[in-house]
């Protein structure tokens, strides 16, 4: 069965859809003939990927940004939990952020993505499974492959979605981050953490807390430089509750990963974590960012699914 390309034509501000026919030639020179499915609505890639697993596809390729990869992974995980063997996942980055491909070591070039897929080297990556509250207060569950964060990052996601991206992903995220900081709040969060057979509970105050499988978010911010996507553990990075000016100074160092040396920043590792917001008056500004997409709010429960998906990666 031919590889299935799941293409988000709206990624990169619509450039992916406009340029895809020009991309198809180089892709098929590397991979041979492929099937193509274009997404038509939000979460459509979830359905396409789940159905592809049900059909017995051996490979699906996400063509788009971090949001597209997220949706394809969700579909593969839904199939996995229904007892289906998920296909291998290829990635052709064509979006705004490109954060997960950075963790996997991809150079942002079409030929490099195609070479990695054609060479067939795989990496069994971990996936996060989580339950959360929707904006309407319903309980739902989903998955993430890169980073799930809470607080200011959810605000930034909303602002990025509303902004023009003509200046590129990094500028869109940077300007939205400045606006988000001005509107940000400090959340008082009851946090319960599990690792191996032990657990602990504490109350923290923070503007942003990131539960990391990958290293990057926000179009190149290296929030968790110590993270590995296949070690069976989340790296949790608490960016603290400093004043907005001090928080800006610390968080701006995320582009180099040196923020982790700040006394304001705390780091710990776990296999499972629960978060509950205690100061509910800030709930409408203390939101979830899931693989770069706004989703819902606390309370939140996250657990690790180790080695769940085989991803085609470049030879290192």
pLDDT at 82 over 60: yes
What is the predicted pLDDT for the residue at 147? 98
Q: How confident is the model at residue 172 (pLDDT cuts 50, 70, 90)?
A: confident
Q: How confident is the model at residue 8 (pLDDT cuts 50, 70, 90)?
A: very high
What is the predicted pLDDT for the residue at 96? 75
Closest CA to 62 of 112, 117, 18, 102: 117
Tokens of 234: 């989340």
Measured CA to CA in angstroms, residue 80 lies from 56, 194, 305, 311 at distances of: 12, 24, 11, 15
Average pLDDT, integer, range 203-210:
97
DSSP 272: E
What is the predicted pLDDT for the residue at 165? 54
Strands 272-277 and 187-195: antiparallel
Q: How many CB atoms are closer than 10 A to CB 136?
A: 7
- The predicted model scores a pTM of 0.93
Let me know: does 170 contact 220? Beta carbons within 8 Å: yes
Distance CA 168, CA 147 (A): 21
pLDDT digits (tens, 9 = 90+) for 185-197: 999 999 999 999 8
pLDDT at 218 over 90: no
Q: Which of 135-139, 141-145, 230-234 bottoms out in mean pLDDT, i.e. has the lowest?
A: 135-139
Q: Which residues contact 164 (CB under 8 A, 6 or more apart)?
A: 13, 172
Which domains, ranges and CATH numbers included, belong to the chain? 4-95 (3.40.50.10330), 128-307 (2.60.200.40)
Distance CA 95, CA 173 (A): 13
> Phi and psi (nearest 5°) for 87?
-65, 165
What is the predicted pLDDT for the residue at 154? 87
pLDDT digits (tens, 9 = 90+) for 256-305: 999 999 999 999 999 999 999 999 999 999 999 999 888 899 999 999 99
């Amino acid at each position: 069965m031919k590889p299935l390309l799941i293409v988000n034509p709206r990624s990169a501000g619509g450039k992916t859809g406009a340029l895809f026919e020009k991309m198809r030639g180089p892709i098929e020179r590397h991979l041979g003939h492929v099937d193509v499915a274009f997404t038509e609505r939000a979460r459509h890639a979830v359905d396409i990927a789940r159905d592809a697993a049900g059909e017995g596809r051996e490979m699906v390729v996400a063509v788009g940004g971090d949001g597209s990869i997220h949706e394809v992974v969700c579909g593969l995980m839904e199939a996995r939990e229904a007892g289906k063997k998920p296909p291998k996942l290829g990635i052709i980055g064509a979006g705004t952020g490109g954060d997960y491909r950075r963790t996997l070591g991809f150079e942002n070039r079409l030929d490099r993505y195609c070479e990695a897929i054609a060479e067939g080297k795989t990496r069994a990556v971990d996936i996060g499974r989580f339950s959360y509250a929707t904006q309407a207060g319903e309980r739902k569950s989903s998955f993430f492959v890169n980073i799930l964060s809470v607080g200011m990052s959810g605000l930034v996601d909303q602002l990025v979605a509303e902004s023009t991206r003509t200046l590129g992903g990094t500028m869109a995220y940077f300007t939205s981050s400045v606006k988000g900081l001005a509107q940000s709040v400090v959340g008082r969060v009851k946090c319960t953490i599990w690792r191996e057979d032990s657990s602990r509970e504490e109350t923290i105050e923070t503007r942003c807390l990131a539960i990391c499988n990958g290293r990057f978010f926000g179009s190149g911010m290296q929030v968790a430089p110590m993270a590995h996507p296949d070690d069976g553990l989340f790296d949790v990075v608490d960016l603290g509750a400093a004043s907005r000016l001090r928080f800006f100074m610390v968080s701006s160092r995320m582009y180099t990963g040196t923020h982790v040396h700040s006394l304001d920043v705390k780091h710990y590792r776990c296999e499972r974590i629960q978060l509950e917001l205690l100061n509910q008056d800030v709930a409408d500004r203390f939101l979830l960012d899931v693989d770069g997409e706004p989703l819902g709010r606390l309370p939140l429960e996250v657990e690790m699914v180790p080695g769940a998906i085989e991803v085609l990666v470049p030879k290192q």
